[in-house]
């Protein structure tokens, strides 16, 4: 059943709800883009991108203003590594080898997952919902809720 995660997934929605509040940290905007890949060999990679990212006026990827660099950093997330699935608890753990956010490198990031879609009994489902444990975002604890559509 762990093979139900194998493949490429396209991000369709992402929200981070502040715990104990109705506040939503919507740093990826209304139409986020992203790609999540789980391989049969146990490798994974994910990229998340905000819906409206301003370009650097200089055109120099290492020469943006402080504001441009901050906006670019805050509207993108990417990491890669391996993963472990626990079907009994409905969790997948991302074992992060490299990440744009240095604090995640070498960490184990737990995600709760739920597969939905295609008729009952099918080995593959077409919708993956990942929920994070509380994460610190803008000084507040928030829980991420990301919805993915199977691409392959």
Alpha carbon 43 to chain centroid, angstroms: 15
Check which CATH number belongs to the domain holding 93 and give it.
Answer: 2.40.128
pLDDT on residue 19 = 97
Higher-confidence residue: 52 or 16? 16
Burial of 56 (0-12, 13-18, 19+ CB in 10 A): middle
The answer to whether residue 102 is domain-embedded is yes
Asked if residue 56 is part of any domain, the answer here is no
Residue 90 forms part of a structural domain: yes
pLDDT of residue 28: 92
Q: Which residue segment(s) compose the domain that 35 sits in? A: 2-51+79-150
For residue 95, tell me if it sits in a domain.
yes
The pLDDT of residue 79 is: 99
């Amino acid at each position: 059943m762990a093979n139900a995660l194998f493949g490429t997934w396209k991000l369709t929605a992402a929200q981070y709800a502040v715990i104990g509040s109705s506040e939503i940290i919507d740093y990826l905007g209304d139409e986020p883009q992203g790609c999540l890949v789980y391989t049969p060999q146990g490798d994974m990679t994910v990229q998340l991108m905000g819906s409206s990212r301003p370009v650097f006026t200089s055109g120099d990827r290492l020469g943006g203003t402080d504001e441009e660099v901050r906006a670019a950093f805050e509207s993108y997330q990417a990491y890669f590594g391996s993963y472990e699935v626990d079907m009994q608890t409905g969790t997948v753990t991302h074992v992060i080898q490299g990440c744009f956010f240095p604090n995640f490198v070498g960490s184990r990031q737990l995600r709760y997952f739920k597969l939905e879609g295609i008729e009952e009994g099918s080995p593959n489902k077409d919708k993956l919902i990942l929920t994070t444990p509380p994460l610190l975002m803008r000084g507040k604890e928030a829980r991420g809720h990301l919805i993915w559509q199977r691409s392959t």
